[in-house]
Amino acid sequence: MSDFCLNYPISFEKLIRENRIEFPLNYRHFVQTGVIAKTPRSVSLETTATCQLSCKMCDRGGIRRKTMYMPDEVFIAAIRNLAPYRPKLNFNGMGEPLLDEKLPERIAYAGSHGFDILGLVTNGLLLTPQISRELIAAGIRRITISLDGNDQASHESGHTTASYQAVTENIESLVRISRELFAEHLEIVLRVTIQKKNLASIPSIFMRWHDKVSFIKVNFVYQYGNVQTDPVVPFRWKERIPCPSMLSGLMILTNGDTTICCMGDINADLRVGNVTSDRLDKLYSGEIAQSIRNKHLSGDLESLPVCQRCAGCTISSFYFGTLARSIETECMKYVNSAAVEK
């Protein structure tokens, strides 16, 4: 690991060595009691499964289902089904959400049904000033933009062929517009996915953006089984744990099929029903969902090949999270010390 040190006063090796794994409270509660809520805390709604990029780190290459846009009748049925439970709603799945031209009107429709936490993650290429205005007017609460570097080469390490200039201009204009509109409810978040090639650029991303956006989140490439990644920190495959994804959320795909996994199940192998015909509590904690969870929790991964290939249920998923928070803290210390020196 010695060749991945940053050229800044931040020792990546030291962080790796010293990091203890932090388990969130709800996860510890589940492991101690086995009790799971009747409905999920968050739901990902895939209004499109298409994308204009083909990033090497992305699982999309493994999609076997038809990639399409969510039909209106599926979208409306999903919102009406979820509304009584008000989970946190993310407009993400296996596509770039801003390719869905109906997205602002769909976000406004969800908002009119009482969802108060609405977010999306975008590659930023289509986040034009006009779309930014429309999303803010629609009531979006959090826009997360992927930015993986401080120049074209480092940004491309994650988002293959994405224009660094276009993305950064769009972030700048979103920041400006949100200030003009006094959009205090909006969080603008940058998500930096760490790769070997962009590791050294991470502190300078914090330097440039920390006082413009709400916060910067560091992220690792996960191995969900559909891509071969070249991880900065090796996955700890032998240490299997109950998958946190299966214990907190659902993902609704464009045709309404719903999977118990909100991260890696790109072809709905863990399908628990369809949101147009099954109520949310049945989808999340009904017989099919419990049977899948029981197999998973008893370690019977042979009957769940999608989980067997996936690092989501290894200790790495929490280890990376803890490590990412430490890197964020160190980068902010670096930013603050640079400000003092000035």
Nearer to ligand SF4, 164 or 334 (CB): 164
Give the nearest distance from C-beta 58 to ligand SF4 in angstroms: 3
Q: Please compute, for residue 120, the number of CA atoms within 13 A of its CA located in the half-sphere on the CB side.
A: 28
Please give the full DSSP string across 117-170, using - where no structure is assigned.
Answer: -EEEEE-STT--HHHHHHHHHHT--EEEEE---SSHHHHHTTSTT--HHHHHHH
- Kindly tell me which residue out of 104, 124, 256, 264 binds ligand SF4, with binding defined by CB under 6 A: 264
312 near ligand SF4, judged by CB under 6 A: yes
Give the distance, in angstroms, between the CA of residue 261 and the centroid of all CA atoms in the same chain: 13
54 near ligand SF4, judged by CB under 6 A: yes
Q: Please compute, for residue 333, the number of CA atoms within 13 A of its CA located in the half-sphere on the CB side.
A: 10
State the sign of the Cα–Cα–Cα–Cα dihedral 5, 8, 11, 12: negative
254 near ligand SF4, judged by CB under 6 A: no
88 near ligand SF4, judged by CB under 6 A: no
Give the nearest distance from C-beta 242 to ligand SF4 in angstroms: 9
Nearer to ligand SF4, 94 or 186 (CB): 94
Residues in 93-112 at the binding interface with ligand SF4, rule: CB under 6 A: 96
Lay out the site mask for ligand SF4 across 131-170 (x = CB under 6 A, - = otherwise): ----------------------------x-----------
Report d(CA 58, CA 87) in Å as an integer.
Answer: 26
CA dihedral 311, 312, 316, 317 (to 10 degrees): 160
Residues in 163-222 at the binding interface with ligand SF4, rule: CB under 6 A: none
What residue number has its CB nearest to ligand SF4?
Answer: 312
- Kindly tell me which residue out of 5, 16, 51, 126 binds ligand SF4, with binding defined by CB under 6 A: 51
- Kindly tell me which residue out of 164, 209, 224, 284 binds ligand SF4, with binding defined by CB under 6 A: 224
Q: With beta carbons less than 8 A apart as the criterion, state whether 318 and 298 touch.
A: no
86 Rama sector, left if φ>0, alpha if ψ -120 to 50, beta otherwise = left
Nearer to ligand SF4, 194 or 313 (CB): 313
Q: With beta carbons less than 8 A apart as the criterion, state whether 88 and 42 touch.
A: yes
Q: With beta carbons less than 8 A apart as the criterion, state whether 252 and 263 touch.
A: no
246 near ligand SF4, judged by CB under 6 A: yes
Token digits for 114?
Answer: 């009482």
Which spans of this chain sit near ligand SF4 (rule: CB under 6 A)? 51, 53-55, 58, 60, 96, 123, 159, 224, 243, 245-246, 261, 263-265, 306-307, 310, 312-313
